[in-house]
Amino acid sequence: MDIPRIFTITESAHRIHNPFTPEKLATLGAALRLEPGTSVLDLGSGSGEMLCTWARDHAISGTGIDKSQLFTEQARLRAEELGVVDHVEFIHGDAAGYVADEKVGVAACVGATWIGGGVAGTINLLGKSLRTGGIILIGEPYWLKLPPTEDVAKACDAGAASDFLTLPRLLASFGGLACDVVEMVLADQDSWDRYEAAKWLTMRRWLDANPDDGFAPEVRARLSSEPERYAAFTREYLGWGVFALMAR
């Protein structure tokens, strides 16, 4: 079981697989006013940066599940590096349908809401692991400005313009799912650049090291086209944020 290889090539050097900087992740951790000992479940935990740094900075305990073997290994290494191996656990597996044995104080899915079949399904899934009064974290894109055509939406890597809402509509939609929005931290263009532009150097180095790999033509095509595509579309049209929710 694993994710498509293109991600483990382009994001192999990322610690955060989202348009968030370490500073924004720290801002989010502080904003949630985490009590020491809070248990955090993270579906699609990637390379574990959120759980590992929050274990270090806020003494939370955490469980992460991720479908990528590479990212899960990187998460375990990061836990060792930060001295939090006794507080965080990383499971390599499919998080679809995953429910924790013991209820948690924070249940998160940050940039992987397809795991629950969309935002509503993911809130429902996370809710099954959440103790009463706990916080759900959803990381999700939104439109900074509505794409004028479906082609523009697709150029932003959306399946369709209808895949995402504007920020006011996204916030309102959480209310429609019987949730209060109690906090949020948003990406900005600089933090998007950290996510997207970091892929370019990784791709270039991978190409230099693997010129004869069967995947090289695809990576080469991406590296040639991505900077312009990103600047013209994603960077202009797409926002992203992590939203903290509590059941009403």
Binding site for ligand SAH (CB under 6 A): 3, 16-18, 44-46, 49, 65-68, 71, 94-96, 110-112, 115
Sheet containing strand 238-247, strands side by side: 88-92, 61-66, 39-43, 104-110, 130-143, 238-247, 179-186
**Smallest distance from ligand SAH to CB 139, Å:** 6
Nearer to ligand SAH (CB atom), residue 153 or residue 242:
242
Question: How many whole angstroms separate alpha carbon 10 and alpha carbon 2?
Answer: 15
Q: Which is nearer to ligand SAH, 96 or 181 (by Cβ)?
A: 96
Instruction: Find the shortest distance in angstroms from Cβ 170 to ligand SAH.
Output: 18
Backbone angles phi, psi at 159, to 5 degrees: -70, -35
Distance from C-alpha of 142 to C-alpha of 238, rounded to nearest angstrom? 6
CB of 87 to ligand SAH, least distance (A): 18
CB under 8 A, 24+ apart: contacts of 204-212? 206/9, 206/12
Task: In angstroms, give the least distance from the CB of 16 to ligand SAH.
Answer: 5
Closest to ligand SAH by CB, 112 vs 125, is 112
What minimum distance in Å lies between the beta carbon of 53 and ligand SAH?
Answer: 11
Between 93 and 217, name the residue whose CB sits nearer to ligand SAH. Answer: 93
When the beta carbons of 65 and 203 are compared against ligand SAH, the nearer one is: 65
The smaller minimum CB distance to ligand SAH, of residues 112 and 136, is found at 112
Find the residue with minimal CB distance to ligand SAH.
46
Closest approach of ligand SAH to the CB of residue 57, in Å: 16
- φ/ψ of 202, rounded to 5, equals -60, -45
Q: Which is nearer to ligand SAH, 91 or 152 (CB)?
A: 91
